[in-house]
Structure 1
Amino acid sequence: MIIQVNTDNHIQGKEELNTYVNNLFNEKLQRFDSYLTRIEVHLSDENGGGKAGADDKKCNIEARLENLDPIFISSQSDDISKALHDGLAKIKRAIEHQLDKVKN
């Protein structure tokens, strides 16, 4: 499974964040490894780096499963870590749902 992390110019610590996201997703989605070909994670700060705002941190995740349509989710929060973890939980549920549909 390939995990690609993209950030906008307002997200700090891109190398550390990239390593963290790769490790987190590999751990949490390991059981789907044989089905997943690619995960794309897009992190952004909608208001820009210096401005605070409600739910201004956004996490979009696209999961590509072998021989199936891609799955896309979006999550927003006032904290990038929370948006990321909420997005991971959503994509995990969506992958489970998609694979259950295929099996039945």
Structure 2
Amino acid sequence: MDFLFHSDDRIEGGNAMADAAEARIRERTARFADRLTRIETRLRDIDGDTNGADGIEASIEARPAGAQPIVVTDRAAQPQTAMNGALQKLIARLESDFGKADRVR
């Protein structure tokens, strides 16, 4: 499974943040790894200098083999909090989608 990480220039953390995000996402999605071809994450500051409670948006796109991509987003004040929220949503979607597919088989 390929992993891509993107962040805008307003998000601090660089490679350390990318490495931490990849490790956490790979850990949480390990049971689905044989069904996923790629996971792409994006972090962006959506409110500029305002620094509001929902100023950072995290988006995670998972690409299941032979199926449409699954995209989830979350917003929070801190990048890590937004990423964790999006990851929680992704796991719930994968469990739901793959669980349904397994029941049909």
Note whether the superposition's TM-score is higher than 0.5: yes
For structure 2, which runs of at least 5 residues remain unmatched after alignment?
none
TM-score (norm 2): 0.92
Q: Secondary structure at 2:34's aligned position in 1?
A: coil
Structure 1 residue 72: deviation in Å? 0.7
Give the equivalent residue in structure 2 for 1:69: 68
Give the equivalent residue in structure 1 for 2:59: 60
1:34 aligns with 2:34: yes
Give the equivalent residue in structure 1 for 2:90: 91
Number of residue pairs aligned between Structure 1 and Structure 2? 103
For structure 1, which runs of at least 5 residues remain unmatched after alignment?
none
Q: Distance in 2 between matches of 1:15 and 1:78?
A: 20
Please provide the CA RMSD for this pair. 1.0
Q: Secondary structure at 2:61's aligned position in 1?
A: strand
Q: Distance in 1 between matches of 2:53 and 2:15?
A: 26
Q: Secondary structure at 1:34's aligned position in 2?
A: helix
Q: Secondary structure at 2:95's aligned position in 1?
A: helix
More helix by share: 2
1:9 aligns with 2:45: no
Q: Which runs of 4 or more aligned residues in structure 1 lie more than 3 Å from their structure 2 counterparts after TM superposition?
A: none
Give the equivalent residue in structure 2 for 1:23: 23
Q: Distance in 1 between matches of 2:92 and 2:76?
A: 19
Q: Deviations over 1:52-85 (max 9, x none)?
A: 1120110011100001111011100111111100
1:102 aligns with 2:101: yes
Q: Distance in 1 between matches of 2:3 and 2:76?
A: 22
